Structure 1
Amino acid sequence: MITTIGYALSGLIAAAIIFIGARFIVAPRVAAAGYGVPADPGQQAVSAYLNVKGVRDIASGLIVIILMVAGATHLLGWMLVAATVIPVADAVIVHRNGGAKSISLGVHGATAVVMLVTAALLLLS
C-alpha cells in the first residue's frame, strides 16, 4: 500500500514537472510568471534560459519515470530526496527576486514537502 501511494505520487510529480517544462518551451511568458519571476522571452538571452529550464524540467520528469519503470523504489526515493533541493532553491530564488510569498512558499515550498513525503513513503516500503 505504501509503495503504491509512493508510486502514484511519483507519477504525479513526473507528469507535473514534464508539463511545467513543456510550458517553459511553448508558453515561456506564462511559465515564468507561474514560476514566480516574470521574464520577457522576447529577449534572446532570456528566451534561451527559459528553454534550458524547460528541457531540464522535462529531463527530471523522465528520470522519475525511468526509475519507476525499473522498479527502483529506494533509488527513486533517494533521488527525490536529492531533487528536493530544486524546489527549495526555486523558493529562495523567487523570494530573493521579489516574487510573491504565495508562489515561493505555496508552490515551491509545497512541492518540496510533497517530494519529501513521497520519498519517505518510497524509502519506508
Structure 2
Amino acid sequence: MMITTIGYTLSGLIAAGIIVIGARFVLAPRVAAAGYGVPADPDQGAVGAYLSVKGVRDIASGLVVIVLLVAGATHLLGWMLVAATVIPVADAVIVHRSGGPKSISLGIHGATAAVMLVTAALLLLS
C-alpha cells in the first residue's frame, strides 16, 4: 500500500509538472524554450506555432496521467510512464545535439527520465 501511495504521489507531481511546463510553452514560449535548453524566438515565422504545439501536447500528457490516477489503473499507469520516458530521454538528446547546457540535458531531462522510471517501477511492483 505504501509503495502505491508513493507511486501515485510521484505520478501526480509528474502530471502537475508537465501541465505547468505545457502551460508555460503556451503562455510564455520564449522563457519556456530557454528553460527546455534550446532557446527559440516565438516571433520568428512558425516557431511560435511549434512552441504552442509542444505546450498543448505536454498538457495533454499530464492529463493522461491524471485520468489513469483517477481510474486507479496502477499497472497501466506504470506502463504508460515507462513508455513516456522516451520523451525526456529524447529531450535530453535534442538539447545535447543542439549545443544546449549539459545541466539542462542531463540535470533536467535526464533526471526527469530517472524519476519517471522509479515511479513506474513503484507502480508496477505494487
TM tier relative to shorter chain: over 0.9
RMSD, aligned α-carbons: 0.4
Structure 2 letter corresponding to 1:68:
L
Distance 2:28 2:45 in 1: 15
| Partner residue, 2:112 | 111
Could you tell me the percent identity over the aligned residues? 87
Distance 2:18 2:45 in 1: 24
| Partner residue, 1:17 | 18
Classify the secondary structure of the residue corresponding to 1:44. Answer: coil
Structure 2 letter corresponding to 1:122:
L
**How much does 1:49 deviate?**
0.3
1:62 aligns with 2:93: no
Per the normalisation by structure 2, the TM-score is 0.99
4+ residue segments displaced more than 2 Å: none
| Partner residue, 1:29 | 30
1:78 aligns with 2:82: no
In the alignment, structure 2 segments of 5+ residues that lack a partner are none
**How much does 1:44 deviate?**
3.1
In the alignment, structure 1 segments of 5+ residues that lack a partner are none
Structure 2 letter corresponding to 1:12:
L
